[in-house]
Chain A
Amino acid sequence: MASESVREQTGRAAAGLQESPRHDARRSTADGARDSAPGAPADAGAHGIPPYTGDPLRRPRRPLVPVAPGPEAVELSGPVFGPADVDPLDSDLTRQHAGEPLGERITVSGRIADRRGRPVRGQLVELWQANAAGRYANRLDRRRAPLDPNFTGAGRCLTDDEGRYHFTTIRPGPYPWPGREHTWRPAHLHFSLFGTAFTQRLVTQMYFPGDPLLRYDSIWHSAGDAAARDRLVAAYDPGLGVSGSTLGYRWDVVLDGPAATWAEEGR
Protein backbone atom coordinates (compact mmCIF):
# COMPACT_ATOMS: atom_id res chain seq x y z
CA MET A 1 0.00 0.00 0.00
CA ALA A 2 1.43 3.32 -1.01
CA SER A 3 0.69 4.97 2.28
CA GLU A 4 2.62 2.21 4.06
CA SER A 5 5.67 2.01 1.90
CA VAL A 6 6.43 5.66 1.53
CA ARG A 7 7.77 7.22 4.68
CA GLU A 8 6.93 10.86 4.68
CA GLN A 9 9.80 13.21 4.49
CA THR A 10 10.83 14.87 7.69
CA GLY A 11 11.55 18.14 6.00
CA ARG A 12 14.98 19.73 5.96
CA ALA A 13 17.36 19.25 3.07
CA ALA A 14 15.96 15.97 1.83
CA ALA A 15 12.65 17.58 1.03
CA GLY A 16 14.26 20.26 -1.07
CA LEU A 17 16.26 17.71 -3.01
CA GLN A 18 13.19 15.62 -3.67
CA GLU A 19 10.95 18.48 -4.49
CA SER A 20 12.95 20.52 -6.96
CA PRO A 21 13.17 18.07 -9.87
CA ARG A 22 9.52 17.11 -9.57
CA HIS A 23 8.49 20.70 -9.46
CA ASP A 24 10.43 21.44 -12.64
CA ALA A 25 9.01 18.40 -14.39
CA ARG A 26 5.49 19.41 -13.56
CA ARG A 27 6.03 22.76 -15.17
CA SER A 28 6.86 21.16 -18.52
CA THR A 29 3.81 18.90 -18.49
CA ALA A 30 0.12 19.47 -19.02
CA ASP A 31 -0.95 20.09 -15.45
CA GLY A 32 -4.61 19.38 -16.05
CA ALA A 33 -3.99 15.96 -17.55
CA ARG A 34 -1.79 14.93 -14.66
CA ASP A 35 -4.18 16.17 -12.02
CA SER A 36 -7.06 14.24 -13.51
CA ALA A 37 -5.23 10.92 -13.26
CA PRO A 38 -5.19 9.96 -9.59
CA GLY A 39 -3.92 6.47 -10.37
CA ALA A 40 -5.86 4.78 -7.57
CA PRO A 41 -8.04 1.71 -8.06
CA ALA A 42 -11.71 2.59 -8.10
CA ASP A 43 -12.71 -0.03 -5.54
CA ALA A 44 -10.08 0.41 -2.83
CA GLY A 45 -12.41 1.91 -0.25
CA ALA A 46 -14.17 5.24 -0.31
CA HIS A 47 -13.20 7.16 -3.44
CA GLY A 48 -10.53 4.49 -4.02
CA ILE A 49 -8.19 6.21 -1.60
CA PRO A 50 -6.59 4.17 1.16
CA PRO A 51 -6.85 6.16 4.41
CA TYR A 52 -3.66 7.55 5.84
CA THR A 53 -2.48 5.19 8.55
CA GLY A 54 0.60 7.08 9.61
CA ASP A 55 4.28 6.43 9.59
CA PRO A 56 4.73 2.65 9.94
CA LEU A 57 7.59 3.19 12.39
CA ARG A 58 5.71 5.67 14.51
CA ARG A 59 2.19 4.46 15.12
CA PRO A 60 1.93 2.20 18.15
CA ARG A 61 1.41 -1.51 17.50
CA ARG A 62 -0.28 -2.39 20.75
CA PRO A 63 -3.91 -1.53 21.46
CA LEU A 64 -4.58 1.61 23.40
CA VAL A 65 -5.36 0.87 27.03
CA PRO A 66 -8.90 2.00 27.90
CA VAL A 67 -9.08 4.19 30.98
CA ALA A 68 -12.24 5.06 32.85
CA PRO A 69 -10.84 8.03 34.73
CA GLY A 70 -11.93 8.24 38.36
CA PRO A 71 -12.30 11.48 40.28
CA GLU A 72 -8.58 11.42 41.06
CA ALA A 73 -7.62 11.56 37.40
CA VAL A 74 -6.02 14.87 36.55
CA GLU A 75 -7.06 14.38 32.90
CA LEU A 76 -10.64 15.27 33.83
CA SER A 77 -9.52 18.85 34.24
CA GLY A 78 -7.45 20.93 31.89
CA PRO A 79 -5.45 24.10 31.55
CA VAL A 80 -7.20 27.42 31.99
CA PHE A 81 -6.48 30.30 29.64
CA GLY A 82 -7.28 33.94 30.08
CA PRO A 83 -7.06 37.32 28.39
CA ALA A 84 -3.39 37.59 29.36
CA ASP A 85 -2.62 34.53 27.25
CA VAL A 86 -4.03 35.77 23.96
CA ASP A 87 -3.86 39.17 22.30
CA PRO A 88 -7.06 40.18 20.46
CA LEU A 89 -5.00 40.73 17.30
CA ASP A 90 -3.81 37.10 17.43
CA SER A 91 -7.07 36.08 15.74
CA ASP A 92 -6.50 38.24 12.66
CA LEU A 93 -3.80 36.57 10.60
CA THR A 94 -4.00 39.29 7.95
CA ARG A 95 -2.74 41.99 10.34
CA GLN A 96 0.43 40.48 11.75
CA HIS A 97 2.83 42.33 9.43
CA ALA A 98 3.27 45.80 7.99
CA GLY A 99 1.70 44.91 4.64
CA GLU A 100 -1.28 42.99 3.38
CA PRO A 101 -0.89 39.27 2.73
CA LEU A 102 -1.74 37.87 -0.68
CA GLY A 103 -4.81 35.70 -1.05
CA GLU A 104 -8.53 35.46 -0.69
CA ARG A 105 -9.59 36.87 2.66
CA ILE A 106 -11.83 34.63 4.71
CA THR A 107 -13.65 34.66 8.02
CA VAL A 108 -13.69 31.32 9.78
CA SER A 109 -15.98 31.02 12.75
CA GLY A 110 -17.97 28.40 14.58
CA ARG A 111 -18.93 26.92 17.89
CA ILE A 112 -17.00 24.52 20.09
CA ALA A 113 -19.17 22.17 22.12
CA ASP A 114 -18.76 18.97 24.09
CA ARG A 115 -20.53 15.76 23.14
CA ARG A 116 -23.65 16.86 24.98
CA GLY A 117 -23.85 20.07 23.01
CA ARG A 118 -22.72 22.34 25.81
CA PRO A 119 -20.51 25.25 24.77
CA VAL A 120 -16.81 25.14 25.58
CA ARG A 121 -16.27 28.60 27.05
CA GLY A 122 -13.09 30.63 27.35
CA GLN A 123 -10.88 27.95 25.89
CA LEU A 124 -7.90 28.22 23.60
CA VAL A 125 -8.23 27.68 19.85
CA GLU A 126 -5.04 27.72 17.76
CA LEU A 127 -4.85 27.86 13.98
CA TRP A 128 -1.94 27.36 11.61
CA GLN A 129 -1.84 27.11 7.85
CA ALA A 130 0.05 27.53 4.59
CA ASN A 131 -0.01 30.80 2.67
CA ALA A 132 -1.98 31.44 -0.51
CA ALA A 133 0.72 29.67 -2.52
CA GLY A 134 0.51 26.58 -0.35
CA ARG A 135 3.75 27.14 1.52
CA TYR A 136 4.26 27.25 5.28
CA ALA A 137 6.39 29.94 6.90
CA ASN A 138 8.25 27.07 8.49
CA ARG A 139 11.90 26.17 7.97
CA LEU A 140 10.96 22.54 7.35
CA ASP A 141 8.87 23.45 4.30
CA ARG A 142 11.46 23.61 1.54
CA ARG A 143 9.06 23.51 -1.37
CA ARG A 144 9.67 25.82 -4.29
CA ALA A 145 6.73 28.13 -3.79
CA PRO A 146 6.83 31.74 -2.66
CA LEU A 147 6.84 32.78 0.96
CA ASP A 148 4.68 35.78 1.76
CA PRO A 149 6.53 38.36 3.87
CA ASN A 150 3.17 39.57 5.15
CA PHE A 151 1.84 36.20 6.24
CA THR A 152 3.02 33.88 9.00
CA GLY A 153 -0.07 31.72 9.18
CA ALA A 154 -0.42 31.21 12.93
CA GLY A 155 -3.22 32.55 15.13
CA ARG A 156 -4.97 32.08 18.45
CA CYS A 157 -8.19 33.06 20.15
CA LEU A 158 -10.33 32.20 23.14
CA THR A 159 -13.91 31.00 22.73
CA ASP A 160 -16.64 33.31 23.97
CA ASP A 161 -19.45 32.49 26.38
CA GLU A 162 -21.34 30.65 23.64
CA GLY A 163 -18.29 28.63 22.73
CA ARG A 164 -17.67 30.60 19.55
CA TYR A 165 -14.30 31.27 17.98
CA HIS A 166 -13.53 33.72 15.21
CA PHE A 167 -10.56 34.09 12.85
CA THR A 168 -9.78 36.38 9.95
CA THR A 169 -7.21 34.92 7.58
CA ILE A 170 -6.61 34.02 3.95
CA ARG A 171 -7.57 30.84 2.18
CA PRO A 172 -4.46 28.64 2.02
CA GLY A 173 -3.31 27.08 -1.21
CA PRO A 174 -3.09 23.34 -1.78
CA TYR A 175 0.37 21.82 -1.93
CA PRO A 176 1.94 18.61 -3.19
CA TRP A 177 2.64 15.91 -0.60
CA PRO A 178 6.43 15.63 -0.57
CA GLY A 179 7.68 12.33 -1.89
CA ARG A 180 4.38 11.16 -3.35
CA GLU A 181 3.55 11.29 -7.03
CA HIS A 182 0.60 13.40 -8.11
CA THR A 183 -0.58 13.75 -4.54
CA TRP A 184 -1.78 17.15 -3.38
CA ARG A 185 -3.13 18.11 0.00
CA PRO A 186 -6.43 19.96 -0.34
CA ALA A 187 -6.50 23.46 1.12
CA HIS A 188 -6.78 23.07 4.88
CA LEU A 189 -6.46 24.87 8.19
CA HIS A 190 -4.83 23.09 11.11
CA PHE A 191 -6.76 23.57 14.36
CA SER A 192 -5.73 22.88 17.94
CA LEU A 193 -8.52 22.89 20.53
CA PHE A 194 -8.81 22.53 24.28
CA GLY A 195 -11.88 21.52 26.25
CA THR A 196 -12.48 21.71 29.95
CA ALA A 197 -10.72 18.35 30.31
CA PHE A 198 -7.33 17.25 29.00
CA THR A 199 -9.09 14.15 27.62
CA GLN A 200 -10.88 16.44 25.17
CA ARG A 201 -7.68 17.71 23.58
CA LEU A 202 -8.04 17.80 19.81
CA VAL A 203 -5.79 18.61 16.86
CA THR A 204 -7.44 18.30 13.49
CA GLN A 205 -7.77 19.90 10.06
CA MET A 206 -10.57 21.93 8.52
CA TYR A 207 -11.28 21.72 4.79
CA PHE A 208 -13.21 23.85 2.31
CA PRO A 209 -16.47 22.77 0.69
CA GLY A 210 -16.39 21.65 -2.91
CA ASP A 211 -12.63 21.15 -3.06
CA PRO A 212 -11.95 18.64 -5.87
CA LEU A 213 -8.78 17.49 -4.08
CA LEU A 214 -10.69 16.12 -1.09
CA ARG A 215 -11.68 12.84 -2.68
CA TYR A 216 -8.03 12.07 -3.40
CA ASP A 217 -6.70 12.96 0.05
CA SER A 218 -5.73 10.03 2.24
CA ILE A 219 -5.48 12.17 5.37
CA TRP A 220 -9.05 13.41 4.97
CA HIS A 221 -10.11 9.79 4.40
CA SER A 222 -8.40 8.75 7.63
CA ALA A 223 -11.13 10.63 9.53
CA GLY A 224 -13.51 7.72 9.00
CA ASP A 225 -16.79 7.28 7.15
CA ALA A 226 -18.50 9.89 5.00
CA ALA A 227 -20.29 11.44 7.98
CA ALA A 228 -17.07 11.75 9.94
CA ARG A 229 -15.20 13.23 6.98
CA ASP A 230 -17.98 15.74 6.41
CA ARG A 231 -17.52 17.03 9.93
CA LEU A 232 -14.11 18.31 8.85
CA VAL A 233 -15.52 20.35 5.95
CA ALA A 234 -16.64 23.90 6.67
CA ALA A 235 -19.84 25.34 5.22
CA TYR A 236 -19.82 28.45 3.10
CA ASP A 237 -21.88 31.02 4.98
CA PRO A 238 -22.43 34.26 3.08
CA GLY A 239 -23.77 35.98 6.18
CA LEU A 240 -20.66 35.23 8.18
CA GLY A 241 -18.18 37.11 6.05
CA VAL A 242 -17.49 40.81 6.23
CA SER A 243 -19.31 42.49 3.35
CA GLY A 244 -16.92 43.54 0.65
CA SER A 245 -13.96 42.03 2.48
CA THR A 246 -14.09 38.36 3.44
CA LEU A 247 -15.78 35.12 2.43
CA GLY A 248 -17.40 33.43 5.41
CA TYR A 249 -16.94 29.79 6.42
CA ARG A 250 -18.66 28.19 9.37
CA TRP A 251 -17.12 25.19 11.07
CA ASP A 252 -18.43 23.76 14.33
CA VAL A 253 -16.41 21.37 16.47
CA VAL A 254 -17.51 18.72 18.96
CA LEU A 255 -14.89 17.63 21.46
CA ASP A 256 -14.79 13.98 22.45
CA GLY A 257 -13.79 12.46 25.76
CA PRO A 258 -15.08 12.59 29.31
CA ALA A 259 -14.91 15.74 31.42
CA ALA A 260 -15.32 16.32 35.13
CA THR A 261 -18.70 17.97 34.71
CA TRP A 262 -20.14 14.77 33.32
CA ALA A 263 -19.44 12.88 36.50
CA GLU A 264 -20.84 15.74 38.57
CA GLU A 265 -24.09 15.43 36.69
CA GLY A 266 -24.24 11.70 37.33
CA ARG A 267 -23.72 10.65 33.76
Chain B
Amino acid sequence: MASVIPAGTATPAQTVGPFHGHALPFAGGGAPAPAGHPQTVTVHGAVLDGAGDPVPDALLEFWQAGPDGSAPAVPGALRRDGLAFTGFARVTTGRDGHYVLRTLPPGGAPYLAVCLFARGLPQHLFTRVYFTLPGHDPLLAALPPDRRLTLLAAPDPGHHRAHRFDIRLQGDRETVFLDFATPRSGAAPGAL
Protein backbone atom coordinates (compact mmCIF):
# COMPACT_ATOMS: atom_id res chain seq x y z
CA MET B 1 0.00 0.00 0.00
CA ALA B 2 1.20 3.45 -0.85
CA SER B 3 0.78 5.52 2.26
CA VAL B 4 0.90 3.15 5.20
CA ILE B 5 1.94 4.91 8.36
CA PRO B 6 4.30 2.79 10.47
CA ALA B 7 2.53 0.85 13.19
CA GLY B 8 2.93 1.91 16.77
CA THR B 9 3.17 5.61 16.03
CA ALA B 10 -0.14 6.76 17.41
CA THR B 11 -0.71 10.49 17.47
CA PRO B 12 -0.49 11.74 21.07
CA ALA B 13 -3.50 13.28 22.78
CA GLN B 14 -3.46 16.84 24.06
CA THR B 15 -5.68 18.68 26.51
CA VAL B 16 -9.03 19.89 25.22
CA GLY B 17 -8.30 23.25 26.85
CA PRO B 18 -10.88 25.70 28.16
CA PHE B 19 -12.19 27.07 24.87
CA HIS B 20 -14.22 24.28 23.28
CA GLY B 21 -17.70 25.43 24.27
CA HIS B 22 -18.38 27.26 20.99
CA ALA B 23 -17.25 24.34 18.87
CA LEU B 24 -18.07 20.90 20.23
CA PRO B 25 -21.55 21.01 21.83
CA PHE B 26 -24.49 20.53 19.45
CA ALA B 27 -28.25 20.88 19.75
CA GLY B 28 -29.83 17.91 21.47
CA GLY B 29 -26.44 16.46 22.28
CA GLY B 30 -27.54 15.27 25.71
CA ALA B 31 -30.78 13.71 24.53
CA PRO B 32 -30.15 10.72 22.27
CA ALA B 33 -33.47 9.16 23.31
CA PRO B 34 -36.06 9.56 20.57
CA ALA B 35 -38.67 12.16 21.49
CA GLY B 36 -41.29 10.79 23.84
CA HIS B 37 -39.81 7.28 23.93
CA PRO B 38 -41.45 5.47 26.87
CA GLN B 39 -38.23 3.73 27.94
CA THR B 40 -36.30 6.98 28.29
CA VAL B 41 -34.10 7.18 31.36
CA THR B 42 -32.33 10.21 32.79
CA VAL B 43 -28.75 9.89 33.99
CA HIS B 44 -27.41 12.93 35.76
CA GLY B 45 -24.69 13.90 38.18
CA ALA B 46 -21.74 16.13 38.83
CA VAL B 47 -18.10 16.10 37.81
CA LEU B 48 -16.02 16.93 40.89
CA ASP B 49 -12.35 17.74 41.38
CA GLY B 50 -10.03 16.68 44.19
CA ALA B 51 -11.32 19.42 46.48
CA GLY B 52 -14.89 18.30 45.88
CA ASP B 53 -15.55 21.39 43.80
CA PRO B 54 -17.61 21.16 40.63
CA VAL B 55 -15.83 21.07 37.28
CA PRO B 56 -17.81 23.59 35.22
CA ASP B 57 -16.08 23.10 31.88
CA ALA B 58 -16.14 19.34 31.34
CA LEU B 59 -17.34 17.73 28.14
CA LEU B 60 -18.80 14.25 28.49
CA GLU B 61 -19.41 11.83 25.66
CA PHE B 62 -21.49 8.68 25.98
CA TRP B 63 -21.58 5.70 23.67
CA GLN B 64 -23.83 2.72 24.26
CA ALA B 65 -25.82 -0.17 22.90
CA GLY B 66 -29.52 0.25 22.28
CA PRO B 67 -32.17 -1.61 24.29
CA ASP B 68 -31.78 -4.58 21.94
CA GLY B 69 -28.15 -4.99 23.03
CA SER B 70 -26.53 -4.05 19.75
CA ALA B 71 -24.48 -0.95 19.04
CA PRO B 72 -26.39 1.38 16.73
CA ALA B 73 -24.87 1.91 13.29
CA VAL B 74 -27.17 4.82 12.56
CA PRO B 75 -25.96 8.27 11.51
CA GLY B 76 -27.59 11.45 12.64
CA ALA B 77 -26.13 12.03 16.10
CA LEU B 78 -25.18 15.62 15.26
CA ARG B 79 -28.45 16.51 13.53
CA ARG B 80 -30.97 14.50 15.48
CA ASP B 81 -34.22 13.74 13.71
CA GLY B 82 -36.05 12.79 16.91
CA LEU B 83 -36.67 9.28 15.60
CA ALA B 84 -33.44 7.32 15.35
CA PHE B 85 -31.43 6.19 18.34
CA THR B 86 -27.79 6.78 17.43
CA GLY B 87 -26.26 5.70 20.75
CA PHE B 88 -23.99 8.75 20.93
CA ALA B 89 -24.35 11.74 23.25
CA ARG B 90 -22.27 14.78 24.11
CA VAL B 91 -23.03 17.09 27.03
CA THR B 92 -21.19 19.81 28.89
CA THR B 93 -21.29 20.45 32.60
CA GLY B 94 -22.79 23.68 33.87
CA ARG B 95 -21.44 26.11 36.43
CA ASP B 96 -22.42 23.63 39.14
CA GLY B 97 -20.51 20.83 37.43
CA HIS B 98 -23.78 19.07 36.67
CA TYR B 99 -24.74 17.24 33.49
CA VAL B 100 -27.96 15.59 32.33
CA LEU B 101 -28.32 12.77 29.81
CA ARG B 102 -31.65 11.49 28.50
CA THR B 103 -31.16 8.17 26.82
CA LEU B 104 -32.48 4.65 26.42
CA PRO B 105 -31.36 1.84 28.73
CA PRO B 106 -28.65 -0.29 27.13
CA GLY B 107 -29.41 -3.93 26.49
CA GLY B 108 -26.75 -6.61 26.72
CA ALA B 109 -23.81 -5.32 28.73
CA PRO B 110 -25.57 -2.93 31.13
CA TYR B 111 -23.35 0.11 30.88
CA LEU B 112 -22.69 3.35 29.05
CA ALA B 113 -19.17 4.03 27.83
CA VAL B 114 -17.98 7.49 28.87
CA CYS B 115 -15.21 9.72 27.59
CA LEU B 116 -14.46 12.78 29.71
CA PHE B 117 -12.66 15.89 28.51
CA ALA B 118 -11.81 18.96 30.59
CA ARG B 119 -9.35 21.78 30.89
CA GLY B 120 -6.57 20.61 33.17
CA LEU B 121 -6.61 17.02 31.95
CA PRO B 122 -3.57 16.34 29.74
CA GLN B 123 -5.71 13.82 27.93
CA HIS B 124 -9.24 12.46 28.00
CA LEU B 125 -10.42 9.82 30.47
CA PHE B 126 -12.55 6.75 29.84
CA THR B 127 -14.96 5.29 32.35
CA ARG B 128 -18.31 3.44 32.41
CA VAL B 129 -21.73 3.97 33.95
CA TYR B 130 -23.24 0.65 35.06
CA PHE B 131 -26.92 0.38 35.87
CA THR B 132 -26.44 -2.99 37.55
CA LEU B 133 -23.30 -4.85 38.57
CA PRO B 134 -23.35 -8.17 36.72
CA GLY B 135 -21.27 -10.95 38.21
CA HIS B 136 -19.63 -12.00 34.97
CA ASP B 137 -18.22 -8.65 33.89
CA PRO B 138 -14.41 -8.97 33.50
CA LEU B 139 -13.68 -5.36 34.42
CA LEU B 140 -15.84 -5.39 37.54
CA ALA B 141 -14.47 -8.77 38.60
CA ALA B 142 -10.96 -7.31 38.60
CA LEU B 143 -11.87 -4.39 40.88
CA PRO B 144 -12.08 -4.32 44.68
CA PRO B 145 -15.68 -3.80 45.86
CA ASP B 146 -15.25 -0.17 46.87
CA ARG B 147 -13.73 0.75 43.51
CA ARG B 148 -16.44 -1.19 41.70
CA LEU B 149 -19.11 0.98 43.29
CA THR B 150 -17.68 4.12 41.71
CA LEU B 151 -19.00 2.82 38.37
CA LEU B 152 -22.56 2.16 39.55
CA ALA B 153 -25.32 4.65 38.89
CA ALA B 154 -27.62 5.06 41.88
CA PRO B 155 -31.39 5.09 41.43
CA ASP B 156 -32.69 8.60 42.00
CA PRO B 157 -36.07 8.13 43.67
CA GLY B 158 -36.82 11.86 43.48
CA HIS B 159 -37.18 11.81 39.73
CA HIS B 160 -38.98 9.66 37.19
CA ARG B 161 -36.79 6.89 35.74
CA ALA B 162 -33.65 8.74 36.87
CA HIS B 163 -30.20 7.63 37.98
CA ARG B 164 -27.43 9.58 39.62
CA PHE B 165 -23.82 9.17 38.51
CA ASP B 166 -21.12 11.47 39.85
CA ILE B 167 -17.60 11.45 38.47
CA ARG B 168 -14.86 12.15 41.02
CA LEU B 169 -11.51 12.95 39.46
CA GLN B 170 -9.66 12.43 42.75
CA GLY B 171 -10.21 11.55 46.39
CA ASP B 172 -11.29 8.57 48.47
CA ARG B 173 -14.01 7.72 46.00
CA GLU B 174 -12.05 8.54 42.85
CA THR B 175 -13.90 7.10 39.87
CA VAL B 176 -12.29 4.15 38.12
CA PHE B 177 -10.78 5.35 34.84
CA LEU B 178 -9.89 2.91 32.10
CA ASP B 179 -6.96 2.28 29.81
CA PHE B 180 -7.91 0.55 26.58
CA ALA B 181 -4.73 1.42 24.73
CA THR B 182 -2.31 -0.85 26.55
CA PRO B 183 -4.36 -3.86 27.63
CA ARG B 184 -2.53 -6.16 30.03
CA SER B 185 0.83 -4.92 28.84
CA GLY B 186 1.53 -2.86 31.92
CA ALA B 187 -0.56 -0.28 33.67
CA ALA B 188 -0.24 3.28 32.48
CA PRO B 189 0.10 5.91 35.16
CA GLY B 190 -2.95 7.96 35.93
CA ALA B 191 -1.27 11.19 34.93
CA LEU B 192 0.61 10.89 31.70
Contacts and interface: CB of A to CB of B under 8 A. Distances in A.
Interface of A: 7-11, 51-70, 72-75, 77-86, 111, 113, 115-117, 124, 126-128, 130, 136-141, 152-154, 156, 190, 192, 198-199, 201-205, 219-220, 222-224, 227-229, 231-232, 252-258
Given A68-B138, A231-B12, A255-B11, 19 more contacts: A54-B192, A61-B170, A65-B143, A65-B178, A66-B182, A67-B179, A70-B138, A74-B106, A79-B88, A85-B79, A128-B20, A190-B23, A203-B123, A204-B12, A204-B13, A205-B17, A222-B122, A232-B11, A254-B5
A232 B14 contact: yes
Contact of B109 (A10, A73, A229): A73
A205 B124 CA distance: 13
A63 B190 contact: yes
A67 B139 contact: yes
A111 B4 CA distance: 10
25 contacts: A54-B120, A56-B50, A57-B169, A58-B119, A60-B190, A63-B187, A64-B187, A64-B188, A65-B176, A65-B179, A68-B183, A72-B108, A74-B71, A74-B113, A75-B126, A79-B88, A84-B76, A85-B76, A124-B78, A127-B23, A192-B24, A204-B13, A222-B14, A231-B12, A258-B180
Contacts of B50: 56-58, 61
B65 interface: yes
A128 B120 CA distance: 18
B14 to A, nearest CB: 4
Contacts, number: 270
Contacts of B139: 65, 67
Contacts of B72: 79-80
Contact of A54 (B18, B77, B191): B191
B16 interface: yes
Contact of B191 (A53, A72, A75): A53
Contacts of B109: 72-74
Contacts of B176: 62, 65
Interface string B40-58: 0000000001110101110
Nearest to A260: B71
B190 to A, nearest CB: 4
A116 B7 contact: yes
Interface string B152-192: 00000000000000000110001111111111111111111
Contacts of B118: 58
Interface of B: 1, 3-24, 49-51, 53, 55-57, 61, 63-65, 71-79, 81, 86-88, 106, 108-109, 111, 113, 115, 117-126, 138-139, 142-143, 169-170, 174-192
A131 to B, nearest CB: 11
Contact of A62 (B8, B13, B16, B190): B190
